[in-house]
Structure 1
Amino acid sequence: MTAPSTTTASRKGGRWIEQWDPENEEFWKETGERVARRNLIFSVLSEHIGFSIWTLWSVMVLFMGPEYGIDPAGKFFLVAMATFVGAFVRVPYTFAVARFGGRNWTVIAASLLLLPTIAAFVVMEPGTSYTTFMLCAVLTGVGGGNFASSMTNINSFFPLRKKGWALGLNAGGGNIGVPVVQLVALGVIGAAGGPRVLLGIYIPLIVISAVCAALFMDSIASVKNDTGAAKEAVRDAHTWIMSFLYIGTFGSFIGYSFAFGLVLQTQFGRTPLQAASVTFIGPLLGSLIRPIGGSLADKYGGARITLWNFVAMAAATAVIVMASMEKSLPLFTTAFIALFVLTGLGNGSTYKMIPGIFAAKAVQKGLAGEEAAAYGRRLSGASMGLIGAVGALGGLGINLAFRQSFMTAGTGTGAFVAFLAFYAVCIAVTWAVYLRRPAATASPAAATSETKPQLSYAEV
């Protein structure tokens, strides 16, 4: 069998691969793997910087002392708006890859990061109006969309047997952009530099990532938007259930990433340098452990790992509440970092559940073989963009909760109590939908019909 070639042509102003068949092992070994890995490398670079710019204001607020005239509630609202826009743009970014091409859209998405970075560089000084700062924070939301387009693009390059590894590496490499920008800020603050120094470091990096995407990435001509699958995914209850659970995992990760340093400053009186020296640890560990969550889900079932992970998140949050009430900084910091680790594990296990759920639904519909696999791929792919967008909104909720808690009580304890209650609901939903066994009183026929889907969901 002759392997198809990767014919790269100039179309619509970019590098387009007209033939792409990664499931063909001969094609994959000869040319596909090399091309896919090259695109993965520069996709990770762009997404990594996108995450750094998205979470830029989580460290910018550390530079904003009393001379800026912004209270803690105002700072939480700044980072909340960045989170909201980042979640919102994930939906159009998901469809942009097929519309413009993966390479072309990566160049565009990377270039758009210059807008919030240069804007902040120009206005970042005392005396600037709060509205201007808010506009700059809103603009950083474009960095949040990079995750959706990057995952959609890389998903097309790799065969099914390699997707888990490739998507995990792509997601993890992007997430690490959060602790990296916090580490860079730590170095700048430690060297007595100002916020413009931090921004000046990232402006050339953004240009480099856009140029690298233009020179080394490709677009696959066969990638099309499947509007039918998108509509079906929107109508499926599991898309919204998993969106809810992803709010609890990724929403927590990104929300705490924005808020951790600000909470340490506001509640425990940490200086910018003291806060920055700690804030990067949680996001770093949470990013690195995400693939392990996926591996555990592969071995034991995503629903089981997700359930027990939410139990552990609730326990860690309970410790945080106690530490907050007792004003114990060491216990508070340790429990908060542990909570970050658990959000990373949960990110991996919940994302692993999505294809398994739709594969189980294919079996329930009576499909088998490649037909069932194709149905699962279509629906899981269509739902992932929406789930990622809704999940990111959890970061908005977290920062708004902190804002309200500090406004009313001067402490974050009330917000953590609310998060504890939310994790309890996540535990109940995960158990009730994906792990609960049929009632023992059900008739044998009913039990048989209900047991199969429940058992299959328990393995997702």
Structure 2
Amino acid sequence: MAVTEEHDPALGTIPRPRPGRWIDHYDPEDRDQWESAGRPTARRNLRLSIFAEFLGFSVWQLWTIVTPSLNGAGFSLSANQQFWLIAIPNLVGATLRFPYTFAVPRFGGRNWTIVSALLLIVPCAGLVVVVQNPQTPFWVMVLVAATAGVGGGNFASSMANISFFFPEREKGAALGLNAAGGNLGVAVVQLVVPIIVVIGGGLALERAGLVLIPLAVLAAVLAWRSMDNLSAAKADLGGYAAALRNRHTWIISFLYIGTFGSFIGYAGVFPTLIKNQFPEVSFDWGFIGLPAVPLTLAFTGALVGSLARPYGGRLADRLSGASVSIAAYVVMGLGALGVIAALSLGSFALFFGCFLVLFVASGMGNGSVYRMIPAVFRAGVAPGDGAGLLLAKREAAACIGIAAGIGAYGGFIIPRVFATSITSTGSLAPALLGFIGFYALCAVVTAAVYVRGRATRFAGTTV
């Protein structure tokens, strides 16, 4: 007698997922399954997740590279208005990271990747429309810029999805690749867009949105054809609630504002700062038949910051997350001090070099703070306490998502602090001095809590 689909034991397996590409029998901790079919499945989903998240970051930061050129296209925006257009996508993106974390367990990783990729079309299309009309009301531009925040939310759902595919022993590397791939989207959009909008002469800012629309469609199609949903992907509401009650979740989130918040905040304002502070500087792409495009220099900051992230994690593995994080905050303070000196001297070379120091240090700090999370929660567990260790893992996983959302608010705070500084004093120096004080506070908190504090009270624990 033929086996009906409802009672087919092979249905829902990796080779034969249910309709909608649902896999019911998936356990990455099962070494036999992992070595035979689990690893190829996980890697396939990881590759497509990186591509989708890369596009998400690109759309999220699209206004950071378009905004400095708006006045050249006929708009009349003040510095304060420019910084609002840069900041508002980060505010929305940071906020969306919290609901996006629970979208994968609710809808499935494949399904949500399709939806989140298609949502990227909305901000791209909106940008195409508004940048072609210099009479567009500013409030409309702010609303359109806000829709770019959907790209920032992609990080949370992408990281949550990939975490379900890999075993604990390989999860760190997989999540590191996923995060780095997304961060690189900032660098690529800041490199490519200034070139695309001037090809053929003139300034066609609408191309910045047009070029990403087909890529978003491609990401959705690839996810539909080749990604998978896992029935085992369930939201750990208990672990999330426990993490919210744990003070270390909030301390780590505060510290992550100092690292990732700085990275995404500086990446957002760097093109505008170059344009406004050193308008005479240009970078000639004439050797490939293109006109001078000064803003292409800005991409190097996000690039070196993205590439530094995994090295920060590796160095933290060798030393400790706390010590590397403290060093990162110290170097960031020195970098900000160097930027103040560069502005005083009017030296673009020093300004650019010190900002690269800020990007490298913040990138390494991203990796080291994330490395601290599992160690911090594990440090409070007595040796041999199996139940405590399990809860610590659940809390650490939830903390990663919470810190990612809170840290991203730095992308809103930094542009607004710069705007206030310029509006009030006409200088960037007060804002930078404030950042230096914040980095000093982060270093002191890290040392007090995670080097000398009770968070390391059990022997053999290195945070």
Same fold, TM exceeding 0.5?
yes
Alignment of 1:290-329 (within 5 A): 290-329=309-348
Larger CA deviation: 102-111 vs 61-70:
61-70
Question: 1:452 & 1:41 partners in 2: Cα distance?
Answer: 37
2:371 to 332, 340, 352: 352
Question: 2:456 & 2:270 partners in 1: Cα distance?
Answer: 43
Contact kept, 8 Å, 1:57 with 1:78, in 2: the verdict is: yes
Q: Say which SS state the counterpart of residue 128 (structure 1) adopts.
A: coil
Contact kept, 8 Å, 1:7 with 1:18, in 2: the verdict is: no
Residue aligning to 2:392: 376
Q: Give the CA deviation at 1:227.
A: 1.1
Q: Say which SS state the counterpart of residue 289 (structure 1) adopts.
A: helix
List alignment gaps of at least 5 residues for structure 1: 438-449
Question: 2:252 & 2:460 partners in 1: Cα distance?
Answer: 16
Question: 1:451 & 1:310 partners in 2: Cα distance?
Answer: 20
Alignment of 1:253-402 (within 5 A): 253-270=263-280, 274-363=293-382, 367-368=385-386, 371-402=387-418
Question: 2:388 & 2:34 partners in 1: Cα distance?
Answer: 23
Q: Give the CA deviation at 1:81.
A: 0.8
List alignment gaps of at least 5 residues for structure 2: 1-9, 283-291
Residue aligning to 1:219: 229
Residue aligning to 1:106: 113
Question: 2:456 & 2:207 partners in 1: Cα distance?
Answer: 59
Question: 1:452 & 1:431 partners in 2: Cα distance?
Answer: 11
Q: Say which SS state the counterpart of residue 102 (structure 2) adopts.
A: helix
2:457 to 447, 453, 457: 453
Q: Give the CA deviation at 1:132.
A: 1.2
Percent of pairs identical after alignment? Answer: 42
Question: 1:452 & 1:339 partners in 2: Cα distance?
Answer: 29
Question: 1:343 & 1:314 partners in 2: Cα distance?
Answer: 11
Contact kept, 8 Å, 1:261 with 1:275, in 2: the verdict is: no
Contact kept, 8 Å, 1:111 with 1:206, in 2: the verdict is: yes
Q: Deviations over 1:57-80 (max 9, x none)?
A: 001112201520111110101111
* Distance change >3 Å, CA 166–CA 8, structure 1 → 2: same
Question: 1:456 & 1:384 partners in 2: Cα distance?
Answer: 23
2:96 to 89, 92, 95: 89
Larger CA deviation: 61-70 vs 47-56:
61-70
Q: Give the CA deviation at 1:372.
A: 4.7
Residue aligning to 1:131: 139
Aligned AA (2:34): W
Q: Give the CA deviation at 1:119.
A: 1.1
2:195 to 173, 187, 190: 187
Q: Give the CA deviation at 1:376.
A: 2.7
Q: Give the CA deviation at 1:214.
A: 0.8
Contact kept, 8 Å, 1:8 with 1:18, in 2: the verdict is: no
Aligned AA (1:104): N
1:54 to 52, 60, 79: 60
Question: 2:136 & 2:298 partners in 1: Cα distance?
Answer: 26
Contact kept, 8 Å, 1:121 with 1:200, in 2: the verdict is: yes
Q: Deviations over 1:320-351 (max 9, x none)?
A: 11112222211011000111011110000001
Question: 2:42 & 2:81 partners in 1: Cα distance?
Answer: 44
Larger helix proportion of the pair: 1
Larger CA deviation: 302-311 vs 238-247:
302-311
Count of equivalent residues: 440
Aligned AA (1:279): A
Q: Deviations over 1:46-103 (max 9, x none)?
A: 0000000000000111220152011111010111111100100000000111000111
Question: 1:426 & 1:131 partners in 2: Cα distance?
Answer: 36
Q: Give the CA deviation at 1:23.
A: 1.0
Contact kept, 8 Å, 1:267 with 1:411, in 2: the verdict is: no
Q: 2:163 aligned with 1:147, yes or no?
A: no
Question: 1:116 & 1:190 partners in 2: Cα distance?
Answer: 21
Question: 2:436 & 2:229 partners in 1: Cα distance?
Answer: 44
Q: What is the RMSD of the two structures over their aligned residues, measured on CA atoms? A: 1.9
Contact kept, 8 Å, 1:263 with 1:412, in 2: the verdict is: no
Q: Deviations over 1:176-226 (max 9, x none)?
A: 000100111132245234111222111100100011111110011011111
Residue aligning to 1:160: 168
Contact kept, 8 Å, 2:96 with 2:150, in 1: the verdict is: yes
Q: 2:266 aligned with 1:248, yes or no?
A: no
Q: Give the CA deviation at 1:290.
A: 0.7
Question: 2:451 & 2:237 partners in 1: Cα distance?
Answer: 31
* Distance change >3 Å, CA 8–CA 63, structure 1 → 2: farther
Residue aligning to 2:246: 236
Q: Deviations over 1:124-159 (max 9, x none)?
A: 121111111101110000000000000000011001
Q: Deviations over 1:276-297 (max 9, x none)?
A: 1210001001101111111011
Residue aligning to 1:444: none
Aligned AA (1:358): F
